[in-house]
Amino acid sequence: MSAESLSREVAALYDNNSANIIAMLQEIQSRNKNRYLPRPELEALAACLEIPVSKVYRIATFFKAFNLEPKGEHMVSLCVGTACHVRGAAKILTALEGELGIVDGGTTSDLKFSIETVNCVGACALGPVAVIDEEYFGELEGDKLPEILNRFR
């Protein structure tokens, strides 16, 4: 679907009412394979809502939930909360960064993986824990990472 038709479709879902712009941006981002808001989408949305592109950008950059750069197809969320930290999350992060060749917050050049650190995923007893997409991996050790990541490659 082209940017223009996706934005038009999403805007129409909300009666082209710019009061709903945050929900529209969420919808557009969630439908994007790489979970971000490409520039053509923002321009097309502004045109549909008859508002300046700068206003759409202001909103898209204000909220941390919106991404202006493409994210990896698979998000690796590594917990660095207290329970995971005391069980060696920092070492896992180093191993993960080495395995993927990117740092925390980064995305691989093939757009397969992104890494983010998070502060508790509610599975403290299993620390250190990573969540890849929706799947939990507990009691992580650095040497288990290649096998785990290969499942998503």
Query: Which stretches of the chain bind ligand FES, using CB under 6 A?
Result: 79, 81-84, 120-124, 127, 129
Q: What tokens does 68 get? A: 């202006």
Min dist. Cβ of residue 88 to ligand FES (A): 11
Q: How buried is residue 18: exposed, middle or buried, by Cβ count under 10 Å (0-12/13-18/19+)?
A: middle
Find the shortest distance in angstroms from Cβ 31 to ligand FES. 30
72 vs 127, beta carbon nearer ligand FES: 127
Token output for 73:
């197809």
Name the residue whose CB lies closest to ligand FES. 81
Say if CB 38 and CB 76 are below 8 A apart. Answer: no
Angle made by CA atoms 92, 93, 94, in degrees to the nearest 5: 90
Q: DSSP letters of 109-142?
A: TTSSEEEEEES--S-GGG-S-EEETTEEE-S--G
Pick 40 or 122: Cβ nearer ligand FES? 122
- Indicate if the alpha-carbon torsion angle 8, 14, 17, 20 is positive or negative: negative
> Minimum Å distance from CB 80 to ligand FES?
7
Q: Is the dihedral of CA 39, 42, 48, 51 positive or negative?
A: negative
Closest CB 136 distance from ligand FES, rounded Å: 9
In the complex, least distance from residue 130 CB atom to ligand FES, rounded to whole angstroms: 10
Q: Which is nearer to ligand FES, 14 or 136 (CB)?
A: 136
Judged by beta carbon, residue 59 or residue 120, the one nearer ligand FES is 120
Nearer to ligand FES, 69 or 133 (CB): 133
